[in-house]
């Protein structure tokens, strides 16, 4: 499953634009998605998710039920606008005049289909990126920076030369639409967006979602390439199917696609595909196993806390100051309880960050629930707010009861979210 998007080349063309041109792109609403650094596209993961698509209900049909992406997912993952005027227009049979007038390029050929397409090679040549190819031993950041320099030398740098700078920007936008946001089968690029280039304040996020649905619902299912902006589907799966295919490197970055770094496997494509399909099939069972492991670890920590406290009491009793020991523990507990309340309040204030990228939207989510798809971090957080290292007689049983409640709440939320 090979993606048809030319994401690195589009980013190179964008970074080569002069500063005033990039500012115009930001005003159009495309800056956030173009600032996402290109990362590895995971073909086995994309294929497994695509296999789950149900063309009748237009949703992903997983063993635990239906899941579907929303406009809120698009806005949070890509940063594209979803609340403007809809992207609509008329598709013409012949774009020869518009292409020559707006892009200064010739169309592909003379038949009905070719008079709506512009050659990819000709468009790359006009952007200064013709023949660009990353070497096997070349890192992607270095390749992008080098190619951006070549594109920068091709663009007009004088903001007063409006004819040239407008033409350069239109060429870039056509390339951006055709090879990143709305990729299609074939090597050449459709000209249907030319009439929209004068006013680009549209709901492009909604158009991206509609194009994704259309691409998933067409074809025979045996295609070797995949259209649409694949990183959107890939990052969406990180939140809904935490299968360990990526690591979160920047938890505070927005849009959400900038937070993740996919893990590159050296295993064969067929092997990865088989493993991922098995993991998706057994995903609910994995959640239960993980919850049981958390419970066992909590019990061990509680026993260790009880033992530490018992030893401390014994030593204090031997030295004749057992009451002073208890008073010091209780004094520290008051401050600790205030710290717990602050931590819970901070957790509730940030839990909405992850809410849109999980199934089961609209349900009341408990404090700490935003960590249910982030591996061991949620367990560490629970231990932190429950404070097992500060166990003492008066609140030890309360702590045990609170943790049991939170543990069951975590298990229940995991099952509820995928029901």
Token couple for 116 = 């709506």
Question: Is 296 a residue whose pLDDT tops 90?
Answer: no
Span 151-202, pLDDT tens digits: 999 999 999 999 999 999 999 999 999 999 998 777 788 888 888 887 788 9
pLDDT computed for residue 207 by the predictor: 93
What Rg, from alpha-carbon coordinates, does the chain have? 27
Question: Is 341 a residue whose pLDDT tops 80?
Answer: no
Quote the mean pLDDT of the chain: 75
* Confidence band, pLDDT 50/70/90 cuts, at residue 60: very high
C-alpha–C-alpha distance, residues 118 and 322, integer Å: 85
User: Across-strand partners of 226?
Assistant: 3
* Confidence band, pLDDT 50/70/90 cuts, at residue 339: low
pLDDT computed for residue 80 by the predictor: 94
C-alpha 81 chain-centroid distance: 16
| Mean pLDDT on 111-135 | 83
The sign of the torsion formed by the CA atoms of 85, 86, 91, 95 equals positive
Confirm if 373 and 235 have CB atoms less than 8 A apart: no
Question: What are φ and ψ of residue 64, in 5° steps?
Answer: -95, 0
Number of neighbours of residue 78 by Cβ within 10 angstroms:
25
CA distances from 254 to 33, 69, 74, 128, 367 (A): 10, 18, 12, 30, 22
Of 114, 27, 47, 80, nearest to 210 by C-alpha is 80
pLDDT computed for residue 172 by the predictor: 95
| Mean pLDDT on 37-57 | 89
* Confidence band, pLDDT 50/70/90 cuts, at residue 357: very low
Query: What share of the chain in percent tops pLDDT 90?
Result: 27
Contacts of 335 (CB under 8 A, 6+ apart): none
Confirm if 164 and 102 have CB atoms less than 8 A apart: no
pLDDT computed for residue 297 by the predictor: 82
Query: What share of the chain in percent tops pLDDT 70?
Result: 70
Q: How many CA atoms lie within 13 A of 32 on its CB side?
A: 17
Contacts of 35 (CB under 8 A, 6+ apart): 258
Token couple for 308 = 């530490």
pLDDT computed for residue 293 by the predictor: 77
C-alpha–C-alpha distance, residues 186 and 118, integer Å: 11
User: Across-strand partners of 66?
Assistant: 61
C-alpha–C-alpha distance, residues 173 and 151, integer Å: 14
Question: Is 274 a residue whose pLDDT tops 80?
Answer: yes
Higher confidence at residue 122 or residue 108?
Answer: 122
Question: Is 20 a residue whose pLDDT tops 90?
Answer: yes
* Confidence band, pLDDT 50/70/90 cuts, at residue 78: very high
Question: Is 364 a residue whose pLDDT tops 70?
Answer: no
| Mean pLDDT on 261-273 | 90
* Confidence band, pLDDT 50/70/90 cuts, at residue 279: confident
Of 397, 256, 387, 263, nearest to 334 by C-alpha is 387
Terminal CA-to-CA distance of the chain, rounded, Å? 29
Token couple for 269 = 């494509």
pLDDT computed for residue 200 by the predictor: 83
pLDDT computed for residue 109 by the predictor: 57
- List, as own/partner pairs, every contact residues 197-201 make where C-beta atoms lie below 8 angstroms and the sequence separation is at least 24, other chains included: 197/102, 197/170, 197/173, 200/28, 200/29, 200/30, 200/173, 201/28, 201/29, 201/81, 201/84, 201/85
Question: Is 329 a residue whose pLDDT tops 60?
Answer: no
| Mean pLDDT on 265-284 | 88
pLDDT computed for residue 408 by the predictor: 39
Higher confidence at residue 369 or residue 149?
Answer: 149
Number of neighbours of residue 75 by Cβ within 10 angstroms:
21
| Mean pLDDT on 401-416 | 38
């Amino acid at each position: 499953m090979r993606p048809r998007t030319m994401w690195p080349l589009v980013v190179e063309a964008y970074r080569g634009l002069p500063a005033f041109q990039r500012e115009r792109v930001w005003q159009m609403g495309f800056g956030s998605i173009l600032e996402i650094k290109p990362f590895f596209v995971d073909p086995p993961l994309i294929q497994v998710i695509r296999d789950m698509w149900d063309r009748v209900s237009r949703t992903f049909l997983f063993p635990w039920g239906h899941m579907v992406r929303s406009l809120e997912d698009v806005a949070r993952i890509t940063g594209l606008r979803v609340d403007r005027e809809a992207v609509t227009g008329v598709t013409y049979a012949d774009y020869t005049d518009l292409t020559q007038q707006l892009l200064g390029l010739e169309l592909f050929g003379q038949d009905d289909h070719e008079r709506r397409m512009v050659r990819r090679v000709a468009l790359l040549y006009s952007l200064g990126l013709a023949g660009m190819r990353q070497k096997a031993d070349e890192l992607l950041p270095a390749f992008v920076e080098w190619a951006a320099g070549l594109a920068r030398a091709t663009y007009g740098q004088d903001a007063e030369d409006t004819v040239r700078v407008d033409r350069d920007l239109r060429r870039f936008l056509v390339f951006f639409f055709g090879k990143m946001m709305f990729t299609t089968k074939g090597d050449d690029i459709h000209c249907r967006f030319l009439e929209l280039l004068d006013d680009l304040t549209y709901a492009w996020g909604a158009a991206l979602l509609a194009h994704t649905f259309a691409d998933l619902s067409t074809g025979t299912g045996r295609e070797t390439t995949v259209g649409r902006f694949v990183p959107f589907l890939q990052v969406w799966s990180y939140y809904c199917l935490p299968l360990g295919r990526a690591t979160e490197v920047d938890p505070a970055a927005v849009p959400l696609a900038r937070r993740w770094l996919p893990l590159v496997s050296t295993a064969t494509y067929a092997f990865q595909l088989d493993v991922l399909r098995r993991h998706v099939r057994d995903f609910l069972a994995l959640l239960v196993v993980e919850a049981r492991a958390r419970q066992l670890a909590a019990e061990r920590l509680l026993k260790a806390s009880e033992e530490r406290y018992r030893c401390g009491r014994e030593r204090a009793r031997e030295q004749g100051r057992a009451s002073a020991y208890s008073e010091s523990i209780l004094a520290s507990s008051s401050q600790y309880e205030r710290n717990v309340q602050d931590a819970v309040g901070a957790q509730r204030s940030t839990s909405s960050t992850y809410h849109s990228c999980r199934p089961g939207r609209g349900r009341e989510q408990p404090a700490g629930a935003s960590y249910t798809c982030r591996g061991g971090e949620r367990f560490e957080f629970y231990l932190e707010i429950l404070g097992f290292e500060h166990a003492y007689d008066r609140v030890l049983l309360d702590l045990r009861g609170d943790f049991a409640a939170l543990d069951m709440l975590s298990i229940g939320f995991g099952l509820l979210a995928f029901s």
